[in-house]
Copies of this chain bind each other. A is one copy, B any other.
Amino acid sequence: MSTTTPSELDGLVQSAHTAYREASAVAPTVRAGWLTAIADALDGAADELVPLAQEETHLPGPRLRGELTRTTFQLRLLGEEIAAGHHLEATIDHADPDWGMGPRPDLRRVNVPLGVVGVFGASNFPFAFSVLGGDSASALAAGCAVVHKIHEAHQRLGTRTAEIVVAALAGTSAPKGLFAAVTGRQAGEALVDHPLVRAIGFTGSTRVGMLLSERAAARPEPIPFFGELGSTNPVFVTRRAWEERSEEIISGYAASLTLGMGQFCTKPGLLFVPELDDSARTALEETFSAAPRFEMLSERLAEGYGSAVATVAATDGVETLIDGEHGPAPAPSLLLTGADEVRANPELLSTEMFGPAGLVIQYGEEDRLPELAALLDGQLTATIHGESGERPAELVDLLVAKAGRVLWNGWPTGVTVSYAQQHGGPHPATTAPGTTSVGTAAIRRFLRPVAFQDFPTEALPAALREENSWGIARRVDGRWQPR
């Protein structure tokens, strides 16, 4: 498969920049139409794309169909969101001679798109976090142009998806070049370096993410880098919950951990239980052995997985409870350790085994949980299983300080796309804990606020003109005026 040359990359970024400038004043409803057109085209191409994805990723067909549904649902939801103008956060302060600190000029703020955004997709979600996944969809919704670096693990699918997206946009009023895709590592690096690229969206490994993040920071003009990197997604089970329903918890845990061969950034990699008796061990072995197996996303990933599991297994005080085979389609593995071992080797809590493996920690006394939770790095998710009436406030507070999403009696895989979703978290979960990469709020990261002082009405952006011809929600003199 051919890779993008530096001059091709430059041409695509230049066109994307021109397109972004042409499109930046378009009404949100028009832009929403572009997102819908892409969604319709992708839905229409499902019978072509899903088999292609299956071939390249080895993921099951039904899962891929579900993922495509999620992807197009997301495009339409983001379209509705921008049509209502929420993302603009339009704010109008009329001139006020009596303002408390001295006369106030007429000041109006609106969020404007950053410009061309470079998006790096993930291998594990060939639709939802790839060509037209969350980052691309929210950058386009924000009014940015997108140049997407296709993941080498599904290059044919990526190329075909990009063609469909470009064709769909060509059937709308969107300016040519608003979306483009590139291939090859060199093009990816050039994308981060290009002066007209104004932000990067990335989903992938901590290693590559940090390399690219440092690259973005080392530019003559550093740009925002929104990276979703690694997470071990701890699950804490209270003693009462473990006593009441360990079987149910074990079966839920195994299902969430082995889903999609454990190739999820939200895979529950750590399970904290008071202790593991023989019957629990047997239940774990049974449920794990029943998990469906298929080939992992790529050979390289399977190798990295095998070596991560071996590293954790070789740590002092770690016992191998279930020894999954390694190789292209490994059986699930489960490792076991205790609270003291974790205190002695806290890196056990941060080593992501990207695949169907987990580490169970026997914590013993429940009052040790906060101390163990305090050893965690930043996380995408953290989960508590407790019984009705239990309220482990200290543990919750600690997890809120560490994670982007906290769950009660649930499992972290399956990240709904909605208004309240938060997919993010402190380093190393992400490089930008104040933002999300899933949900309607994801649009905001590709925008920045600009204030207009004493501007004549005709020179103001439509969102800030008195007449509000777009009919969007705005804040006027401190009061929100819903749509």
- Residues A454 and B100 in contact, CB atoms below 8 Å apart: no
Beyond known contacts A222-B427, A393-B459: 17 more, CB 8 A cutoff: A66-B102, A74-B101, A91-B441, A93-B419, A93-B421, A105-B410, A109-B420, A109-B422, A112-B400, A391-B458, A403-B450, A410-B453, A419-B478, A434-B444, A434-B447, A480-B480, A480-B483
Interface size class of A (residues with CB under 8 A): 35 or more
18 A–B pairs (Cβ distance < 8 Å), ordered by A: A21-B397, A69-B102, A70-B101, A74-B101, A99-B416, A101-B416, A102-B416, A107-B416, A109-B422, A109-B441, A406-B450, A420-B451, A420-B475, A422-B451, A424-B448, A434-B447, A434-B449, A480-B482
Indicate whether A396 reaches chain B with its CB closer than 8 angstroms: yes
Contact with B along A439-466 (1 / 0, CB 8 A): 0010011011111111110110000000
A410 to B106, CA, bound (A): 11
Indicate whether A355 reaches chain B with its CB closer than 8 angstroms: no
Indicate whether A405 reaches chain B with its CB closer than 8 angstroms: yes
CB distance from A474 to the nearest CB of B (A): 10
Known A-B contacts A449-B436, A449-B441, A450-B406; the reply to A419 vs B91 at CB < 8 A is yes
* In the complex, chain B residues whose CB is within 8 Å of the CB of A479: 482
Indicate whether A115 reaches chain B with its CB closer than 8 angstroms: yes
Residue of B nearest to A406 (CB): B452
Indicate whether A46 reaches chain B with its CB closer than 8 angstroms: no
Indicate whether A13 reaches chain B with its CB closer than 8 angstroms: no
Indicate whether A469 reaches chain B with its CB closer than 8 angstroms: no
Q: CB < 8 Å: which of B105, B224, B405 contacts A416?
A: B105
- Residues A408 and B100 in contact, CB atoms below 8 Å apart: no
Q: Nearest 10 pairs between A and B by C-beta?
A: A422-B451, A73-B101, A109-B420, A91-B420, A407-B453, A93-B420, A405-B451, A107-B420, A422-B449, A408-B455
A25 to B198, CA, bound (A): 37
Q: CB < 8 Å: which of B391, B419, B451, B456 contacts A404?
A: B451
Known A-B contacts A73-B101, A427-B221, A427-B222; the reply to A404 vs B449 at CB < 8 A is yes
Contact with B along A364-392 (1 / 0, CB 8 A): 00000000000001100000000010010
Contact with B along A205-226 (1 / 0, CB 8 A): 0000000001001000111100
* In the complex, chain B residues whose CB is within 8 Å of the CB of A221: 377-378, 426-428
* In the complex, chain B residues whose CB is within 8 Å of the CB of A73: 100-101
* In the complex, chain B residues whose CB is within 8 Å of the CB of A70: 101-102
Known A-B contacts A101-B69, A404-B451, A480-B482; the reply to A434 vs B224 at CB < 8 A is yes
In the complex, chain A residues 218-254 whose Cβ is within 8 Å of any chain B Cβ: 221-224
* In the complex, chain B residues whose CB is within 8 Å of the CB of A393: 459
Contact with B along A114-135 (1 / 0, CB 8 A): 1100000000000000000000
* In the complex, chain B residues whose CB is within 8 Å of the CB of A478: 419
